[in-house]
Structure 1
Amino acid sequence: MDLNSLLSGSIGQQIIGSVASKIGVDESQAKTAVTSAVPMLLSALNKNAQNGNAEGIANALEKHDGSILDNLSGFLGQGGNQQDGQGILGHILGDKQQNVESAISQQSGLSTNQVTQVLAMVAPIVMGFLGKEKQAQGADSSGIQGLLGNLLGGATSGEGINLGGFEKMLDQDGDGKLGASDVMGMLGGFFKK
């Protein structure tokens, strides 16, 4: 399954509907925010994997095994798990989280506070979806990068934010490249748990 299939399928519709009702916006704004947030999170994970942290991501996916998708309506009905979502975001995006929130805010017309809520709702679902795909494909740490690459293969159809621009936001040391020092800054100890 690629990213477009996830976002346009029943899971995507559930997420968008729940986001719209939780933060009190119309579904078109919620859709713009979600279809921007999901590729950003997957792109950040993909860059982390490319830069040598695939094993750490694989370990994190043992916790996020896809079971969240078995009761997605229950998870969303409770407004998600903001604490878990914020933890995931802090580790994946690090000090670039505000830049990401601003970019999605500009794209969707939502306030940055609303975008923070959207990202925190979506992050555990993205990890759960990735965990389920990992299990379905029997991927180990060496297969994580390929799995993420396949999911992101559908991310270039025009919806959402240009991933190249997103990768510039993640350049934590300002050297114009997304390298190991950027990744370490983003990850902290998250994937070592």
Structure 2
Amino acid sequence: MGILDTLLGSDNGDAIAQLAKQIGLSEEQARAVVKEVTPALTRGMQHNTKDETGVEGLITALRTGNHARYIENPSVLGTAENIDDGNSILGHIFGSKEVSRSVAEHASQETGVASSLIKKALPIIATMVMASLGKSLFGGTASASTNTEQTQPSSGILSSLLDSDRDGSIIDDVLGMAFKMAFR
């Protein structure tokens, strides 16, 4: 199961409802925005994990960031701490606000939701993606994801979770993202 499936699954209905409430959208609109921006976030993660150092950095962030709380306790979505954490994640994933703006503009065109609302949603969704990825890799609750005694997941597991087109390879996904960015 991929990150998008996990985020939109029935187990995360409360998180989607809280996102909708925080941004001022219907739950259907919030789902559409999550569905549209999550692949861009995972492709950014793929780009950042193209070498072992990037994979190790992401695994460390997942293990120590306590991101699972954003899914386990959706009432914290939209808080100042959540937004700050999400903006840090976006900065690391995309590298610049220009890319975040581009993602918001594209998602706006695809969903019909104002880009200003999507820009507000992006940091929240980024933390939800990290929470879902952490739970997928480490399972359990927020306390389990911060247990440093656990076995380190392999980059193969990480790659399969980030494989947006589910063909078993993240190379084409990263190349596709680079191609789209170059010819905008």
Q: Does TM-score exceed 0.5, indicating one fold?
A: yes
Instruction: Please name the residue that 1:151 is paired with.
Output: 161
Contact 1:101 1:115 in 2 (8 A): yes
Instruction: Please name the residue that 1:76 is paired with.
Output: 77
Q: Write the mapping of 1:94-173 to structure 2, written as runs, cut at 5 A.
A: 94-95=95-96, 96-136=99-139, 140=152, 143-144=154-155, 146-153=156-163, 167-168=177-178
Deviation at 1:9, TM superposition (A): 1.4
Query: Using a 3 Å threshold, how does the CA distance of structure 1 residues 82 and 164 change in structure 2: closer, same or farther?
Result: same
What CA distance in whole angstroms lies between the structure 2 residues aligned with 1:13 and 1:68? 15
Deviations 1:93-138 (A, max 9, x none): 1222221111111112222221111111111121122223332496
Contact 2:94 2:100 in 1 (8 A): yes
Aligned to 1:81, the other structure's residue is in SS state helix
Instruction: Please name the residue that 1:59 is paired with.
Output: 60
Query: Using a 3 Å threshold, how does the CA distance of structure 1 residues 58 and 77 change in structure 2: closer, same or farther?
Result: closer
Aligned to 1:50, the other structure's residue is in SS state coil
Deviations 1:66-106 (A, max 9, x none): 54156322323748711111111112112222211111111
Instruction: Please name the residue that 1:37 is paired with.
Output: 37
Instruction: Please name the residue that 1:186 is paired with.
Output: none
Contact 2:42 2:164 in 1 (8 A): no
What CA distance in whole angstroms lies between the structure 1 residues aligned with 2:66 and 2:22? 25
Contact 1:101 1:112 in 2 (8 A): yes
Deviation at 1:139, TM superposition (A): 5.9
What CA distance in whole angstroms lies between the structure 2 residues aligned with 1:20 and 1:70? 14
Amino acid corresponding to residue 132 of structure 1 in structure 2: K
Aligned to 1:131, the other structure's residue is in SS state helix
Aligned to 2:101, the other structure's residue is in SS state helix
Contact 1:88 1:124 in 2 (8 A): yes
Count of residue pairs brought into register by the alignment: 165
Query: Using a 3 Å threshold, how does the CA distance of structure 1 residues 166 and 121 change in structure 2: closer, same or farther?
Result: farther
Amino acid corresponding to residue 88 of structure 1 in structure 2: I
Contact 1:30 1:108 in 2 (8 A): no
Deviation at 1:54, TM superposition (A): 0.9
Amino acid corresponding to residue 64 of structure 1 in structure 2: G
Query: Using a 3 Å threshold, how does the CA distance of structure 1 residues 8 and 132 change in structure 2: closer, same or farther?
Result: closer
Q: Normalised by the size of structure 1, how large is the TM-score?
A: 0.69
Instruction: Please name the residue that 1:2 is paired with.
Output: 2
What CA distance in whole angstroms lies between the structure 2 residues aligned with 1:170 and 1:139? 37
Q: Normalised by the size of structure 2, how large is the TM-score?
A: 0.72
| Structure 2, gaps ≥5 residues long | 141-149, 167-172
Aligned to 2:113, the other structure's residue is in SS state coil
Contact 2:44 2:93 in 1 (8 A): yes
| Structure 1, gaps ≥5 residues long | 157-162, 177-193
